A and B are shown apart, each in its own frame.
Chain A
Amino acid sequence: MRKYRGVDYYALDELLSEDERLVRDTVRDFVDERVMPSIGMHFRNATFPNELVGEMAKLGLLGANLNGYECAGLNNVAYGLIMQELERGDSGIRSFASVQGGLVMYPIYEFGSEEQKKKWLPAMARGEAIGSFGLTEPDFGSNPGGMITRATKAKGGYVLNGTKRWITNASMCHVAVVWAKLDDVIRGFLVERGPKGFITNEIKGKYSLRASDTSEIILEDCFVPESALLPGSKGLSSPLKCLSAARYGIAWGAIGAALACYDEALDYSKSRVQFDRPIAGFQLVQAKLVGMLTEITKGQLLCLRLGRLKDAGKVTPQQVSLAKRNNVHEALKIARVARDILGANGVTDEYQCGRHMCNLESVYTYEGTHDIHTLVLGADITGIDAFR
């Protein structure tokens, strides 16, 4: 297989440090050698590539931007580059890493007790424990504050009741960060697989993120000990903080998916001959390719600046919303145009643009839908909240 080369039209590599480039190149090679050969088959068969978990952990990809507890302690730009390269492979692989690192390890790191951190973070960095994040419910997606799941105090702990849906990694997880209302305040609970009343069911029939485990979690009088409560979590802002952390990675990841599609479309158009010349020589195809390149370059600039702001501790959630909203939207358009350039070949899984196109439909919706991010930004610039 042809070795993948990134797209760097604006010489952004010069703005990366030596170790940031080294991280990116290492993950790039890993994706080429370990993810690409089998990801198409996993997507077709709707299986998660379990065999890659240990390898990703060994590389240090899980919770890579956390410090201590066996985590790599990378800055946020390097972390973003990891997400970009993983999603260049497949959104499902990136989702796995996002959830493990941004939605499970991060809340434990941020809201957990020292005991919880010591118990879970090293095991999760090593890939020995897999985590999931249960916030969304069947009837509460964009409006998580209305959640039905309840925790009630019981002797020595809490009893949880409710249903969580669209939960990445849930069927294979060892521990779930479950958000539930305790006396009407949203709190986070570390629910280990094992206790009675913790049931997971995989959601079948997806045409998107097929190489990812998407499940529902049913909590039926599920008892958890006192030590399960994340002491620092309080109110809706806690899970939203986690989502902002993961969403940052998605903004980068979307570029990865777009890069894969652009690379494939460019390569294809140069070798596909119609009317006695490569289709890359036609003005309409060139316009499409140039449009892709332009949006990729803009997305790269957004993310790099966003990452530097995050590293400086100056980023706002709305800035993350803007990047997630823009980059996923553009990546989805790029995937569709790539499919168009590939013609009939684009609808088979022999090529990757169709897989990315289907995946990005989920990415467009999860972690704050495109429309919700529009309203978040609208509220920010007008001072008028349109949905609360």
Chain B
Amino acid sequence: MKIVVCIKRVPDTATRIRIAPDGKSIDPSGVEYVVSPYDEIAVEKAIQLKEQLGAGEVIVVSLGPAEASKELRTCLAMGADRAILLKYAGSSFDLDPLSVAEALADAIRPIQPDLVLTGWKAADDDHAQVGQALAVLLDMPCLTFVAKLDVAGRTATVHREVEGAVEEVEASLPIVVTAQRGLAEPRYASLKGIMAAKKKSIEEKEIATRPSRLELRKLAPPPARPPGRIVGQGKDAVPALVDALMNEAKVL
């Protein structure tokens, strides 16, 4: 079984983001990058499936800057077999999700994968579109927000997280699956895995992307939280507090 996993290099979710002076990008100084967490879950699941089946190949694909080889190397150290880097020097904010999906689909098509996995959204731009667009472009069914995935023969059984319930779906391979938390718990790359990854290949490809059809106008930090207000003191304050909670905060 051939499994392709699409990953994205994103700022570490623990990083405090500062907006660059141009107002349209983030200041890269002091920012550490990681594999986007949902993508990392997808990588783990792919490796687990390969281990369960005892055969197959896990190919990790990423569109990003040359430095994204570090994130691809991390996936190889976890146990993926090889990687493809679609080099794009600009900011990921300059690309619309469909352009990203088109570039990924062009790279994935010749591989003829049985399964394509990716995170349900990237941790930086939160678009949550690439998986679905990719499925359309590859002409495969798409299963989103998947928290459980089993493969037997050519049949996949998945649990999708939907509002207040879990939906169990069966599908024939090939399919595209977007990973939700719970699908797998990413492992630590072992040191032997890291050493082995040095010998695995990262194929670099230049890509031509068309100009974005979305224009990023401005990035702004969320508004600062308004200061608190003391409504009164002692038990006399209770009516005012209840009123504030009911009518202002609307939490009662």
Contacts and interface: CB of A to CB of B under 8 A. Distances in A.
Interface of A: 3, 5, 18-19, 21-23, 26, 29-30, 58-61, 64, 72-74, 78, 82
Contacts of B74: 22
B80 interface: no
Interface stretch (B56-64, B125-133, B188-196): B188-196
B82 interface: no
A18 B70 contact: yes
Contact of B191 (A3, A5, A18, A74): A74
Contact of B189 (A22, A78, A82): A22
A60 B191 contact: yes
B198 A19 contact: yes
B150 to A, nearest CB: 25
Interface residues of B, number: 18
B192 A60 contact: yes
B188 A19 contact: no
B188 A59 contact: yes
Nearest to A62: B191
A23 B188 contact: no
A5 B197 contact: no
Contacts of B12: 3
B224 interface: no
B117 interface: no
A190 to B, nearest CB: 25
A58 B190 contact: yes
A21 to B, nearest CB: 8
B194 A23 contact: yes
A268 to B, nearest CB: 18
29 contacts: A3-B12, A3-B14, A5-B32, A18-B69, A18-B70, A18-B73, A19-B73, A19-B195, A21-B70, A22-B73, A22-B189, A22-B194, A22-B197, A23-B191, A26-B77, A26-B188, A59-B188, A59-B191, A60-B190, A60-B191, A61-B191, A72-B190, A72-B191, A72-B192, A72-B194, A72-B195, A73-B195, A74-B191, A78-B191
B134 to A, nearest CB: 28
B198 to A, nearest CB: 6
A60 B188 CA distance: 11
A52 to B, nearest CB: 13
B192 A19 contact: no
Interface of B: 12, 14, 32, 69-70, 73-74, 77, 188-195, 197-198
A64 B73 contact: no
Contacts of B188: 26, 29-30, 59
B77 A22 contact: yes
B191 A64 contact: yes
Nearest to B77: A22
A91 B198 CA distance: 31
Given A3-B14, A5-B32, A19-B197, A26 B70 contact: no
A19 B73 CA distance: 8
A106 B165 CA distance: 55
Contacts of B73: 18-19, 22
Nearest to A70: B192
A5 B194 CA distance: 21
A15 to B, nearest CB: 16
Contacts of A18: 69-70, 73
Residue picked from A22, A29, A64, A73, most chain B C-beta under 10 Å: A22
A26 B70 CA distance: 13
Nearest to A17: B198
A18 B197 CA distance: 11
A78 B74 CA distance: 16
Contacts of A78: 191
A74 B195 contact: yes
Contacts of A58: 190
